[in-house]
């Protein structure tokens, strides 16, 4: 659409007419310079003021004001690029994740089910981020490469099954796979969230060595240790005993991995704590700003300016022909 940036310029439109209303200054009192060009422009002829200026005489002035008002053509809204994060989720699906020490709505569920619920909600919130998914057990697999398609990431996370990647836990390999994928992307905000309930018992690369490689690639790692500290079970003789279902969790290594890459370590003993952790991750790694738009603008002042010059020369030429 067309727009006038400085419409107030048109208040100057009657200025030539107002100037002509000023009293004439006597020739003896001041030395003046004759300007036939201005006389022609504002309607003077043979030194006498005309009562009414013709359209052709006023056209250059109107066009000059139009040029000074900055006419513009404003185009359609164009979205600005939004800078998000490359966020990779590495989820442990080893055999120990089947431990039912978590709860959803008062119902006991295994650890992976609780992770799916909370991580799925986290994925829904990460608008503007590219998200990838790594599943690891005895081996690490890239389930979903980095993508803006959050629904696909969420769907494949929900399809993950305990033991699908083996019973053991290859934390180092999951980090190594994330580092490999990070090398294939441009430098930027790259984050890896590793969630596990155990310790590194498989794989070709040690977790701390993998963390060093991640730091070299500027890949920040947040680690989450999941599992309750205490679980009450019924014994064979009818009594109850308290056990620690997270005795295999290697918190020291997870803390060290996070520290090496300037990330953080979190401990999730129940579903509520897990939800709080993902909310904290939203604060630590804020969402990209909402999509913004701009309208491309073309300046059009030169067209009325050229028109004013053309009208002026035509006016002067017609005066000469009279």
Is there a contact between 207 and 257 (Cβ–Cβ < 8 Å)? yes
Task: Please indicate whether residue 84 or residue 143 has the higher confidence score (pLDDT).
Answer: 143
Is there a contact between 170 and 141 (Cβ–Cβ < 8 Å)? no
The DSSP code for 158 is H
Task: Please indicate whether residue 40 or residue 302 has the higher confidence score (pLDDT).
Answer: 302
Q: Lowest mean pLDDT: which of 58-67, 185-194, 293-302?
A: 293-302
User: How sure is the predictor about 33, in pLDDT bands with cuts at 50, 70 and 90?
Assistant: very low
User: How sure is the predictor about 222, in pLDDT bands with cuts at 50, 70 and 90?
Assistant: very high
Cα separation, 244 vs 237, in Å, equals 20
- % of the chain beyond a pLDDT of 70: 79
pTM beyond cutoff 0.75: no
Q: Lowest mean pLDDT: which of 2-16, 72-86, 214-228?
A: 72-86
pLDDT, residue 312, reads 79
User: What does DSSP say about strands 293-294 and 190-196: parallel, antiparallel, or unpaired?
Assistant: unpaired
> Is 89-284 assigned to CATH 3.40.1440.60?
no
- Compute the mean pLDDT over every residue in the chain, rounded to the nearest whole number: 81
Residue 49 has pLDDT above 70, yes or no: no
Kindly state the helix (H) or strand (E) to which residue 317 belongs, with its residue range: helix 302-321
pLDDT, residue 69, reads 87
Residue ranges covered by each domain of the chain = 2-76+295-321, 89-284
pLDDT, residue 54, reads 57
Residue 37 has pLDDT above 50, yes or no: no
């Amino acid at each position: 659409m067309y727009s006038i940036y400085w419409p107030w310029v048109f208040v100057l439109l009657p200025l030539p007419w107002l100037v002509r209303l000023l009293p004439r200054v006597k020739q003896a009192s001041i030395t003046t310079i004759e300007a036939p060009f201005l006389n022609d422009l504002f309607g003077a002829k043979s030194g006498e003021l005309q009562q009414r200026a013709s359209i052709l005489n006023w056209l250059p002035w109107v066009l000059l004001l139009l040029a000074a008002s900055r006419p513009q053509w404003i185009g359609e809204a164009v979205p600005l690029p939004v800078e998000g994060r490359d966020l990779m989720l590495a989820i442990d699906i080893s055999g120990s994740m089947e431990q039912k020490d978590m709860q959803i709505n008062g119902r006991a569920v295994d650890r992976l089910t609780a992770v799916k619920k909370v991580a799925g909600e986290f994925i829904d919130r990460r608008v503007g981020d590219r998200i990838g998914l790594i599943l690891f057990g005895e081996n690490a697999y890239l389930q979903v490469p980095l993508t803006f398609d959050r629904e696909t990431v969420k769907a494949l996370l929900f399809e993950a099954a305990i033991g699908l990647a083996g019973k053991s836990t290859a934390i180092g390999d999951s980090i190594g796979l994330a580092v490999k994928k990070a090398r294939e992307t441009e430098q930027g905000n790259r984050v890896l969230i590793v969630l596990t309930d155990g310790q590194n018992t498989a794989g070709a690369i040690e977790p701390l060595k993998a963390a060093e490689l991640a730091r070299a690639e500027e890949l920040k790692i947040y680690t989450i240790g999941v599992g309750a500290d205490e679980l009450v079970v019924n014994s064979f003789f009818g009594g109850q005993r308290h056990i620690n279902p997270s005795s295999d969790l290697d918190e020291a290594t997870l803390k060290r991995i996070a520290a090496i890459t300037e990330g953080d370590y979190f401990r999730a003993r129940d579903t509520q704590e897990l939800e709080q952790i993902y909310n904290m991750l939203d604060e630590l790694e804020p969402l990209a700003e909402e999509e913004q738009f701009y309208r491309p603008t073309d300046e059009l002042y030169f067209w009325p300016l050229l028109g004013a010059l053309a009208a002026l020369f035509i006016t002067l030429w017609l005066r000469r022909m009279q």
